[in-house]
Structure 1
Amino acid sequence: MSTPGAVMPAARKASATVVLLHILGDTGHGRAEAFAGIRSSHIKYICPHTPVMPVTLNVNTALPSWFDIVGLSPDSHEDEPGIKQAAENVKALIDQEVKSGIPSNRTIWGGFSQGGTLYTVLTTEQSMAGITVLSRWPPLGASFPQGPVSGVNEDVSILRCHGDGDPSVPLMSGSLTFEKLKLLVNPATVTFKTYEGMTQSSCQQEMMDVRQFTDKLLPPID
């Protein structure tokens, strides 16, 4: 189970929360460092750690990982129980934030690569302000919703970002995810941005786009 990890408190009374999930092999501290320069003073940022486990794709090397990864091709076997358990862990973090006084619709979930939160958001009953999906591939293709989702997040705002030089998760995977999302939620609420030359990493323009997306959906409450 994930732990709260790196928590960046709001500089003043928190009125919103952003949960950021890290890439395979990283920790919450890595995500916290990446977002340190684009924080907003009224937002609390939570960057959870994940357990260390053997990862098939990495020759069973034990790494911080949200779930096992067998391969990155569309037809690769997926660790469905692991993905679903990771989703439940993230949902539990949001439940804690709601109990502390932050409504779920004042929350954005964000993730980088393996830490993408697509499955979590589109299968939860918690109303989200939005999600940021960075360098992610489509999760659970066989069991993921195959048609429009109904409920609290059918109009959720989604920012999908990907580098055109990513050797691990090619841009085509990002495009497939974008097309899939447009079938699942209101297409008008989904934005896809690409970044020339960016690999499996982030760039300044991507971070500024994430900041703009976040500030638009989670403005200060006076």
Structure 2
Amino acid sequence: MSYHSTSMNSGGGNGAGRRNFEFGRTHVVRPKGRHQATIVWLHGLGDNGSSWSQLFETLPLPNIKWICPTAPTRSVSLFGGFPYSAWFDVGEISENAADDLEGLDASAAHVANLLSTEPPNIKLGIGGFSMGAATALHSAVCHVSGRYANGNVYPINLSAIVSLSGWLPCSSALRNRIEGSRDGIRRAASLPLFLCHGRGDDVVAYELGEKSAGALSAAGFRNLIFRSYNGLGHYTVPEETDEVCSWLTANLGLEGFRFN
């Protein structure tokens, strides 16, 4: 099942942004069992939601509803300004790269909007691959601090974050954002995060993924697991997805996953 999403200002409905972002088609994988959790999954640079929704159709997680949106098509500085589907603009993938806060906030707000209509008893999570993982981690920081980077209120209560082959944007401002929130330290300590990274990744360096996990831990994210995979490049493998399934089942209190 799929549907078209609408364009929105960065920061969502909490304030006008300078740019409008036209998000692409969103694909939804309905739970095959009792609906206990909903996870928005964010694809990597140049990809779309369809490719990941096809994978989630096969996973043994019958109690999860998966929402797989498609990023806006925008000029990407990393590729000389050529248009790609991207959650935010990026010039280089490194610890010291300039962060597109407006783009990050717009995508985080889009994800929050997708989760906002879920039933109140359903646990909510965000996951992603590569640039999608970076956006998921940005959303985690927004949840913990209670605000987007632009200061607008973040409205969603998250229960799980999964990052595959990703990195943490805005890491230099992380500690100040959390310590500046009354409940930030408590939320950081309780939010479960599962980060995975291949040691052979030649797109998002393993060292960047490892440093991102360290920065999150140092800022108070106590419920964090970082998994490394020898020889794994910038892609996912069954060993990794099996671990994600087990981790989600345990941390979301699901009834258990089944093998097809």
**TM-score between the two structures when normalised by the length of structure 2:** 0.77
User: Is it true that 1:122 corresponds to 2:156 in the alignment?
Assistant: no
- After TM superposition, give the deviation of residue 103 of structure 1 in Å: 3.7
The Cα offsets for residues 129-172 of structure 1, whole Å up to 9 and x where unpaired, read as 21111111220134334455335453111101000000011110
The answer to whether the Cα contact below 8 Å between 2:201 and 2:234 also exists between their aligned partners in 1 is yes
d(CA) in 2 for partners of 1:151 and 1:192?
20
Q: Where does residue 50 of structure 2 map in the other structure?
A: 29
Structure 1 alignment gaps of length 5 or more: none
Q: Tell me the amino acid that sits aligned with residue 205 of structure 1.
A: E
The answer to whether the Cα contact below 8 Å between 2:171 and 2:215 also exists between their aligned partners in 1 is no
- After TM superposition, give the deviation of residue 34 of structure 1 in Å: 3.1
Q: Where does residue 189 of structure 2 map in the other structure?
A: 154
1:72 maps to which of 89, 93, 97: 93
Structure 2 alignment gaps of length 5 or more: 1-6, 8-22, 147-155
Which structure 2 residues correspond to residues 167-178 of structure 1 after superposition, within 5 A? 167-178=202-213
Q: Where does residue 116 of structure 2 map in the other structure?
A: 95
d(CA) in 1 for partners of 2:220 and 2:191?
7
User: Is it true that 1:141 corresponds to 2:171 in the alignment?
Assistant: yes
Q: Secondary structure at the match of 2:58?
A: helix
Q: Where does residue 228 of structure 2 map in the other structure?
A: 194
Task: Return structure 1 stretches of 4+ with deviation > 3 angstroms.
Answer: 1-4, 142-149, 151-154
Q: Where does residue 113 of structure 1 map in the other structure?
A: 130
Question: CA RMSD of the aligned region, Å?
Answer: 2.0
The Cα offsets for residues 160-193 of structure 1, whole Å up to 9 and x where unpaired, read as 1000000011110011011011122342x11010
d(CA) in 2 for partners of 1:152 and 1:3?
31
User: Is it true that 1:83 corresponds to 2:104 in the alignment?
Assistant: yes
The Cα offsets for residues 62-106 of structure 1, whole Å up to 9 and x where unpaired, read as 111101111112222221111111111111111122xxx1446x1
Q: Where does residue 251 of structure 2 map in the other structure?
A: 217
Indicate the percent of aligned positions where both proteins have the same amino acid.
25
Q: Secondary structure at the match of 1:33?
A: helix
